[in-house]
Structure 1
Amino acid sequence: MANLAVMLEGAAATHPDRVAVIQGDSELSYRDVDAAARRVAGVLVSAGIRPGDRVAFSCPNVAEFPIVYYGILKAGAAVVPLNVLLRGREIAYHLADSRAKVYIAHRGTAALPIGEEALEGFRATESCERLFLVGAEPGAVPEGADRLEDAMADVRDVFDTVEVDDEETAVVLYTSGTTGQPKGAELRHRNMRDNAYSVSKVFACDAARPDTYLAVLPLYHSYGQTVVQNIGFAFGGTIVMLPRFDAQEALELMRRHRVTFFSGVPTMYWGLMAAANESVDVAQVARDLRVANCGGAPLPVEMHRRFEERFGVTILEGYGLSETSPVASFNPFGREPKVGSIGVPIPDVEMKLIGDDWSDVDPSPGTVGEIAIRGHNVMKGYFGRPEATRAVIRDGWFRTGDLARRDEDGYYFIVDRSKDLIIRGGYNVYPREVEELLIQHPRVSLAAVVGVPHEALGEEVIAVVVREPGADVTEEELVAWGKERLAAYKYPRQVRFVTEMPLTSTGKILKRELKEMMAGA
């Protein structure tokens, strides 16, 4: 079967009683998860979903995530996972752009009211027909929405998974590359499935000795989906859910559930090291931990050394993008890693360095070029954007926009991130989106957004602003403006005012100069 839902169904058939998901004090077996996913599929078909439709989904790392994710796939639809930090106006854009027919959203919490933002976005989108809320109290669902649990109770858990072609879209992951509004990267069933199996070879995953995974990476992101959820389910592992990363709680869960497989971004490793000095039995955590891997941003050399000393495991860095399902390279498991390197291509993936005109650069060690990737993992294209697709894919090669060099052993080292992309705490922040919002402020004439180094987050978001003549807008006002309208990881924490921007001869803002100026301020 080509359907990506085989990741769940294979384990449910082989190990029905094995624990699939742990959340708090509750456990769900593979039989439980598969049965619930079948009910979700039944609800969606009853709601009018047909093969090829898209279903948007907002959910933190809780047990419902894999249930709904695989349920959407079973129905033959494509999953459109949305960042749980998005605000209503941002959700409306994603629903309309993806042409999602149905939207499923977790109710969230008082601190993170996902359901409220979901309702606002849904009501602003005419093309989306139904909204189902997950985890809402009975009788407390607002007008215009339905409670998913009530709908699931009305259908049987007997559902035959829709067979799909390998080339059909399984997941639409939103990314804007480096410019403009977010674009939906269409990932085929084979893209996601084959990427999970290839990465599993890197880490020597074995269904006879299943791993226990701590899900701290957001599962709505491709890294968490592939390296934690899909690999975990494909090999009959157990996934311990942690909805919001807290280093002390993460270490305690690792100790209690004997976690063997940890995937994170640099800020998470930074947090684990800081929390390791407290009450948790770090020695036990270290004895159980088999794999530690990292992506999203470069990991400092000192963090590599300190983590290995404390936990006895070398962090393996890798590289990928939403457009590559996401993994393209990793430092090989079982070998001494090259610190600072993103490793070598994973099985069945090729990487090379190219110039602006797509030509191969001099292969000599140390030569800098743009990373291009070809293999099972490269997306179908950007949903509804053929021109944007043609700009980045040629003859099966995907150009990443990331500059790198390669050493004599074939290991790649990132030299610079895609143009002006900011990576804050593992989240991608695309400056143009923030700039376009700031310029909407009536007292802002021009805005440029840059990232500057930050010890804990990797980079912090700073806006450089030229006021309208005679305007007296303050830093506090603009920070509040952004905070109200953007996801929590996107809005600028600082605003610096200038009378003019440094420009190139063609009128483009010299962001490199701005970065240097802001970093030295």
Structure 2
Amino acid sequence: MTLNLATLLEDSARRHPDRDAVVLGETRLSYAALDAAAGRVAGLLASRGVRPGDRVALSCPNLPYFPIAYYGILKAGAVVVPLNVLLKGREIAYHLADSAARAYLCFEGTADLPMGAEGFAGFGQTDGCEEFFLITADPAAASPIEGAQTLGRALAGVDGTFESVDTDETDTAVILYTSGTTGQPKGAELTHANLVFNALTCNRLFGGLATEHERHLITLPLFHSFGSTVQMNAGFAVGSTLVLMPRFQADEAVRLLQREKITFFAGVPTMYWGLLGALDGSVDVEEIARNLRVAVSGGASLPVEIIKQVKERFGVQILEGYGLSETSPVATFSDPERDPRPGSIGVPIWGVRVKLIDPEWKTIEGTDEVGEIAIRGHNIMKGYYNRPEATAEVMRDGWFRTGDLARRDGDGFYYIVDRAKDMVIRGGFNVYPREIEEVLLTHPAVSLAAVVGVPHDSLGEEVKAFVIRGGDVTEDELIAWCRENMAAYKYPRLVEFVESLPMTATGKILKRELTDR
């Protein structure tokens, strides 16, 4: 069966040619214009020798150029390899070589984030990558990097009537690199069917909540699976307007929620925490609440306390989902036919099966027993690109093991307990940092917390909490409060107050950096 992920954009361009597809500040690009621009990119790539199945890397923040390049690569029948915009030259060279990229499109960046310079340096270190296109903010601008051709000038004379290549549903559409928290990053191969099914299933879930013309605020980076599937692919599939934020800033996000009459917001927990902290007297919270219909969280476990505060301020129930790059990404989501259960990642989405397993892959049947989440369905990747051994470690008989620990209640709702690798073993007892963080956030003087295990001579590991304060409390007072509210083996004996927590580009807290302190 022929299927190309670019169909999601092309169909909406046919049905809603004049509707705004993307908005960035004063720039508004219609569906017809976006589709034509993507066609020009496809034509350029084909003219430079890019063939169906070739890999094409893309480094770009949340700008209109991202979907233009993304769908242009797909139209050419090639494979998109989105790269984290924070990567340095050496890391970019690794990704280009590992994915055997044939071409690379890279945004020029800014003085603070010189993406173009880093990208061109990485390109120069990669023998197999033959074409480099520098995306400039002004398409007519000369290249600020000697020897680098600009995409704008390369596109001169290329029209937008390119006829999309027919690809099979099992062909690879996108290679998403995992964060590389253990070992070198690996590229998860996702097919056209993986991503089309995931986008359409998202819209099936949101169907009873969504408006006829959804307006998304895109704060999640589009190079990440959460933003690209749940908002870009799913949004374009139903003719939504995407309001882009190149970098999440809570105060600006709140202003955009109000000004652009946003109906759909998706974010990771730290973004919701930021929005709550940005509600000052200049914000019309009631107007935001009148428009905002759908709020989605994923990427990390959402503290119940934040769910409660968002419901109180914005009048919207945050719906939680769960997934990974390897699962396209959505695997479970709040059941649209039942009341949301705060703290739960919901139930398996349509066409997907989930179970809990032990380290030997044996199924755990009991209610509220902790096991590792395993997933099977249309969302599971083909495997890690050119890594059969790594693929075999996580896949068996169509099941993918996630490395995440969870429990399942009597009604089939799943609850994340923690990452298997984040679990702290203190004196022989299993301590789940997420549980400790949930309790800490109920303290009135705690704004945000991250709990890790640190080495201890006799216990093996000790529990330590890094805390951003939202009020007056001393370390000793907070430890004493924890002792009163948690079992003796759980509560943190060590507390360190910090001004900020290290985070990834997607807003996840980098616990591995905390454990190295």
Please, what TM-score do these two structures have when normalized by structure 1? 0.81
Q: What's the CA shift for 1:208? A: 7.5
Counterparts of residues 78-117 of structure 1 (less than 5 Å)? 78-117=79-118
SS of 1:67's partner is helix
Does 2:405 align with 1:412? no
Deviations 1:467-504 (A, max 9, x none): xxxxxxxxxxxxxxxx9xx99999989999xxxxxxxx
Q: Match of 1:139?
A: 142
Counterparts of residues 142-181 of structure 1 (less than 5 Å)? 142-175=145-178, 178-181=181-184
SS of 1:236's partner is coil
Query: Take 1:176 and 1:451, find their aligned partners in 2: how far apart are those partners?
Result: 25
Q: What's the CA shift for 1:26? A: 1.2
Query: Take 1:85 and 1:15, find their aligned partners in 2: how far apart are those partners?
Result: 35
Query: Take 1:267 and 1:487, find their aligned partners in 2: how far apart are those partners?
Result: 12
SS of 2:363's partner is coil
Q: Match of 1:276?
A: 279
Counterparts of residues 300-379 of structure 1 (less than 5 Å)? 300-333=303-336, 335-361=338-364, 363-379=365-381
Q: Any stretches of 5+ residues in structure 1 without a counterpart?
A: 424-430, 432-448, 458-482, 497-513
SS of 2:196's partner is helix
> Structure 1 residues 418 and 390 mapped into 2: Cα distance closer, same or farther (>3 Å)?
same
Query: Take 2:117 and 2:33, find their aligned partners in 1: how far apart are those partners?
Result: 29
Letter in 2 for 1:408: G
Query: Take 2:114 and 2:208, find their aligned partners in 1: how far apart are those partners?
Result: 37
Q: What's the CA shift for 1:207? A: 9.0
> Structure 1 residues 176 and 452 mapped into 2: Cα distance closer, same or farther (>3 Å)?
farther
SS of 2:221's partner is coil
Q: Indicate if the aligned counterparts of 1:131 and 1:144 stay in contact, CA closer than 8 A.
A: no
Deviations 1:342-364 (A, max 9, x none): 11111111100111121211x12
Query: Take 2:180 and 2:169, find their aligned partners in 1: how far apart are those partners?
Result: 25
> Structure 1 residues 414 and 217 mapped into 2: Cα distance closer, same or farther (>3 Å)?
same
Letter in 2 for 1:245: F
Q: Any stretches of 5+ residues in structure 2 without a counterpart?
A: 424-432, 435-451, 453-460, 470-501
Query: Take 1:75 and 1:450, find their aligned partners in 2: how far apart are those partners?
Result: 53
Q: What's the CA shift for 1:332? A: 2.2
Q: What's the CA shift for 1:129? A: 0.8
Q: What's the CA shift for 1:333? A: 3.4
Letter in 2 for 1:131: F
Q: Indicate if the aligned counterparts of 1:92 and 1:124 stay in contact, CA closer than 8 A.
A: yes
Alignment equivalent of 1:384, drawn from 383, 386, 390? 386
Q: Indicate if the aligned counterparts of 1:21 and 1:239 stay in contact, CA closer than 8 A.
A: yes
| Residues paired across the two proteins, number | 449
Q: Match of 1:466?
A: none
SS of 1:332's partner is coil
Q: Match of 1:72?
A: 73
Q: CA RMSD in A?
A: 2.9
> Structure 1 residues 495 and 378 mapped into 2: Cα distance closer, same or farther (>3 Å)?
closer
Does 2:229 align with 1:246? no
Query: Take 2:194 and 2:350, find their aligned partners in 1: how far apart are those partners?
Result: 13
Q: Match of 1:13?
A: 14
Q: What's the CA shift for 1:179? A: 2.0
Deviations 1:18-39 (A, max 9, x none): 1101010011110000000000
Q: Indicate if the aligned counterparts of 2:78 and 2:173 stay in contact, CA closer than 8 A.
A: yes
Alignment identity in percent? 57
Letter in 2 for 1:89: R
Query: Take 2:286 and 2:219, find their aligned partners in 1: how far apart are those partners?
Result: 21
Q: Match of 1:469?
A: none
Q: What's the CA shift for 1:338? A: 1.4
Does 2:214 align with 1:211? yes
SS of 1:153's partner is coil
Q: Match of 1:22?
A: 23
Query: Take 2:513 and 2:225, find their aligned partners in 1: how far apart are those partners?
Result: 31
Deviations 1:179-228 (A, max 9, x none): 21000000000001101111111111799702100000000000000011
Letter in 2 for 1:414: I
> Structure 1 residues 255 and 106 mapped into 2: Cα distance closer, same or farther (>3 Å)?
same
Query: Take 2:225 and 2:346, find their aligned partners in 1: how far apart are those partners?
Result: 19
Greater alpha carbon shift after TM alignment, 204-213 vs 334-343: 204-213
Greater alpha carbon shift after TM alignment, 117-126 vs 24-33: 117-126
SS of 1:193's partner is helix
